Amino acid sequence: MPTRAADPVALKPPGRTDPDTHSKRTKGHRPLVTETANTTRWGILSTGRIAGLFATGLASAPGAELVAVGSRSQESADRFGDRFDIPRRHASYADLAADPEVDVIYVATPHPGHKEAALTCIAAGKNVLCEKPFALNVGEATEMVEAARAKGVFLMEAMWTRFRPAMVKVREVLASGAIGDITLVTANIGWQAGFDPASRLYDPELGGGALLDGGVYPLSFVSMVLGAPSEVTGVAVLGKTGVDEQEAISLLHPSRAVACVGVTIRANPISLATIVGTQGRIQIDHDFHKPTSFTVSVDGQEPERHEYPLDEGNGYQFEAIHVMDCLQQGLTESPVMPLDESLTIMNTMDSLRAQWGVRYPQETG
């Protein structure tokens, strides 16, 4: 089993506050778990594909115990419970949230269901790890953040990319100043998804579109490196159902650095990411959102290769380990994926959708 790593390095790009200022602690710095210092009891809300991936990842997270699952039917909960040997199976999300044997709940519903599920868990006093994108829009995300802060429970967006060992090392290289001041960040992501108007990628009722499902990865990556943008522009191709199927996004930041992001569900691009500085660059190999290798090229020096093969688990264990570390320290917010940053990213995506005229049926006002 891998040993528990220290909290990943947090960057402070120009004009950005220290992430530690976002990390609220409970009174007396008491742990936010009720089990022993070595065990955190997890519940999973929903039983779809991403729930299964996370459950698999938990098996490689030291100290994690998957004790409960909640679904909209007993049959689905039992089927998932049998698959992962989960003892406590609930036929509703509310019953899972009320389970006294659960310390933290992973919300794995499609993103239009994130707000309701997270608020149900928070109201029951449960810590929450919510799958990305954090919500359907910044209004929903704000409700979630305000509820968690008022209740004093932990809440974090499950951006697994940030917690992979390769990305932790990327932040260490950036923090060292090896490539100088950052001037340009680029990232592309996508896959060829067959058209199905009833699928979550194409159905507006399900929050469909390339941006929320795929674009959140490069936008979160840019945010990790450069902080909040001062200007956001983009062009998109809308499909038959009215959702965005591919887009090109440009961002300007207060430091005068720029970023370029490409997203598509119409083809299979090479998903690379680059960070260019005044003294060198970092290139993260395909697929950058689940990185295992990258190259650092400092001007005048031989390129330096970094490789972090995934020898155990499926990569989802790293975000779970980080959450458990935060809970043991009594943190109600992550210093690596702060809630204020999740709100900024959601706001950026709202701005882009407004430019493209993409609006979901459940959005009012």
Per-residue 3-state assignment (H helix, E strand, C coil) for 19-47: HHHHCCECHHHCCCCCCCCCCEEEEEECC
- As a whole number of angstroms, the distance between CA 277 and CA 162 comes to 20
Within a domain: 365:
no
Within a domain: 85:
yes
- As a whole number of angstroms, the distance between CA 91 and CA 352 comes to 38
Tell me the whole-structure pTM to 2 decimals: 0.92
Confidence category of residue 32, pLDDT binned at 50, 70, 90: confident
Average pLDDT, the chain: 92
Based on the fold, state whether residues 92 and 172 are members of the same structural domain: no
Domain with 123, as residue range(s), is 19-160+315-336
Give the model confidence (pLDDT) of 175-206 as tens digits: 999 999 999 999 999 999 999 999 999 999 99
Whether the per-residue pLDDT at 19 is higher than 80: the answer is no
Average pLDDT of the segment spanning 296-308: 98
CB atoms within 10 A of CB 265: 26
- As a whole number of angstroms, the distance between CA 39 and CA 41 comes to 6
Based on the fold, state whether residues 129 and 277 are members of the same structural domain: no
Based on the fold, state whether residues 144 and 228 are members of the same structural domain: no
Backbone angles phi, psi at 267, to 5 degrees: -160, 175
Within a domain: 6:
no
Based on the fold, state whether residues 206 and 351 are members of the same structural domain: yes
Within a domain: 118:
yes
Confidence category of residue 365, pLDDT binned at 50, 70, 90: low
Based on the fold, state whether residues 117 and 167 are members of the same structural domain: no
The pLDDT score that the predictor gives to residue 15 is 30
Of the candidates 54, 48, 58, the residue with the CA atom closest to the CA atom of residue 80: 48
Give the model confidence (pLDDT) of 47-64 as tens digits: 999 999 999 999 999 999
- As a whole number of angstroms, the distance between CA 319 and CA 8 comes to 11
Within a domain: 276:
yes
Based on the fold, state whether residues 252 and 109 are members of the same structural domain: no
Within a domain: 325:
yes
- As a whole number of angstroms, the distance between CA 87 and CA 51 comes to 16
CATH number at 268 reads: 3.30.360.10
